[in-house]
Structure 1
């Protein structure tokens, strides 16, 4: 079909295996043709498991296939820049995992390259596509709790054993909780409030068994315009706590219970003077919407859920948290 979007996967990752391949294939225009990994045996095993036709050991070899029109990048964080730039130069549309890069200038370079080449670029920030968070944003926008004055985000869980690799042990690859978890908070808060924070202060620690130079827990306070204060707790070492959000306003509160995950689920409760009201949720796979919006952008009938610019901003905010934790200073956020 002429409108088929043929995908190549850059990175034989867990998220690609568990979520993205299926979400691409659910879309009527989606087809997964190829997978590339620096370890060819890993690529072949992935391809066999997911019934993908082609496997490669180099990005350049896969990008040479003219049938491939889009790539999904889920390599380690330090690989996002060269992989994305190579794909853009080859004329492919790019859906890239967060963070887009480890430096703001590099993330902006990806955005500029995509704009110059005329291809679609999106950041795979999945939380803004979850039905729970969309319901929370809708309640905020409707004024259901009046004027928002504070938010608590508790995005603290236990890193599965299968992921206790570079995230805990390789700082050069972008390891640590800030670039894995806090970066998502930055995107979600911007989605909720439609604004960027003014300043951020943070303290980080290594609470588990990882190297002391790589943080696995961080707490931060963010100030948004309108005197809105936000508290974030992000961690790899909280095995049994709830993961959710609380949004408090002048007329009530919104409780998002067990909503900081990849899988559909969780609850949203509106609490006001009239009591508690649970908001009905349609439990959809969050990545399905991300793929649908991305393909719509390719087909000139929509825009990505989370753009390249959104990816630059979420990185900028994560780096502010990291800088504050490293220096003990409160970091002011430039609004440009």
Structure 2
């Protein structure tokens, strides 16, 4: 049984992760917030033993096995490095850091310390995406030619704030959503984007940060990828389309935290539904993390996966700024 500390009294921890830790037999011993009153209220509301404001105090607990980091993006690096130095396993929200250099340092530090370090890329744990990946690998649509990802949504009221106003905290739709799409495409295709072109905009909610982005990626195999991310689309539905020489996979409403939409395979024989498991995607992610901690496997998305998704997002951001085709720099990974 893993004993967890929450670094960040966050919405995602409350809505998804605390339940996932407990459903896998873990317990949550402590929660950290910069605000002592918030830490205490949060701990009481969620049945957590201790609310605290000192990271050093949390990490000094010899009974603590792992931490889950869900603070604003600019805090991830220092908090993860402290946890790694204390010998704690780390599950970190995406993006791992605000720069690719910091993310690489985090991964290398965890490797040197011998602790499990994972990125909480949740979509690859969804039954829908596992079924899609398996269908692609089995050749059910032939050789893949192109991919379209539609991840334009309306950002919920309770998540607005730094995501829409603070570049320093890692705000903007590129840091928040492009990293998800990069990881999802990598998961399905088993390869990494080579270079990208992109445009971004403030289309209604962003205040000094982009709230919409479109980009095209070139893959080593020649596959072309189109993506659209936004915080401003009230009436859009998310989707993923993968087109091959012998068919296509059409998935609707599968890019959110509850990707329970419809998935179809279309071939010359017609359309047929692609069934998939309906397990909790965060439960699945934590299960694989726990298995890795036990030395019996690897996390669903490890630190290198986090580095690579951030590298794609950085390239998209640079391409949008410069108007130039930009090579993705994976820093040797």
Match of 1:218 in 2: 213
Could you tell me how far apart the structure 2 residues matched to 1:283 and 1:156 are? 23
Runs (5+) with no aligned partner, structure 2:
none
Runs of 4+ aligned structure 1 residues displaced above 2 Å come to 333-336
Q: Is the 8 A contact 2:198 2:316 kept in 1?
A: yes
1:108 alignment partner in structure 2: 104
Distance 1:209 1:303, change over 3 A: closer
Name the SS of the counterpart of 2:249 in structure 1: strand
Instruction: Report Cα offsets for 1:269-304 as digits up to 9, x if no partner.
Output: 000111111012221110011100001001011110
Q: Does 1:299 align with 2:294?
A: yes
- Could you tell me the TM-score, scaled by structure 1's length? 0.97
Deviation at 1:175, TM superposition (A): 0.3
> Which of 158, 176, 180 pairs up with 2:176?
180
* Partners of 1:36 and 1:58 within 8 A in 2: yes
Instruction: Give the C-alpha shift of residue 334 in structure 1.
Output: 4.1
Decide whether the 8 Å contact of 1:178 with 1:322 is kept in 2: yes
CA distance in 2, matches of 1:320, 1:334: 8
SS in 2 for 1:171: coil
Q: Which of the residues 228, 232, 239 maps onto 2:234?
A: 239
8 A Cα contact 2:253 2:259, kept in partner: no
Of 240, 248, 254 in structure 1, the residue corresponding to residue 249 of structure 2 is: 254
Q: How many residues align?
A: 331
- Say which of 71, 76, 80 aligns to 2:72: 76
- Taking structure 2 as the reference length, the TM-score comes to 0.98
Query: 1:279 aligns to what?
Result: 274
Matched, 1:208 2:204: yes
Shift of 1:44: 1.1
Question: RMSD of the TM alignment (CA)?
Answer: 0.9
> C-alpha offsets along residues 36-59 of structure 1, whole Å, 9 cap, x if unaligned?
011111111111111001110121
Aligned to 1:98: 94
SS at 1:312's partner residue?
A: helix
* CA distance, structure 2, for counterparts of residue 244 and residue 210 of structure 1: 23
Out of 131, 134, 143, the residue aligned to residue 135 of structure 1 is 131
- 1:100-140 alpha-carbon deviations (Å, 9 max, x no partner): 01111100110011011110000000011001111110110
1:23 aligns with 2:20: yes
Tell me the residue number matched to 1:315: 310
User: Which secondary structure state, in structure 1, belongs to the residue aligned with residue 150 of structure 2?
Assistant: strand
How far 1:256 sits from its partner (Å)?
1.1
Q: Tell me how far 1:198 sits from its aligned partner.
A: 1.4
Q: 2:272 is paired with a residue of what secondary structure?
A: strand
The 2-side partners of 1:333 and 1:177 are apart by 18
Tell me the residue number matched to 2:264: 269
Check the 8 A contact 1:43/1:55 in 2, yes or no: yes
Instruction: Assess if the C-alpha contact under 8 Å between 1:77 and 1:102 holds in 2.
Output: yes
**Does structure 1 conserve the Cα–Cα contact (< 8 Å) formed by 2:31 and 2:43?**
yes
C-alpha contact 1:205 1:216 (8 A) present in aligned 2:
yes
Unmatched runs of 5 consecutive residues or more in structure 1: none
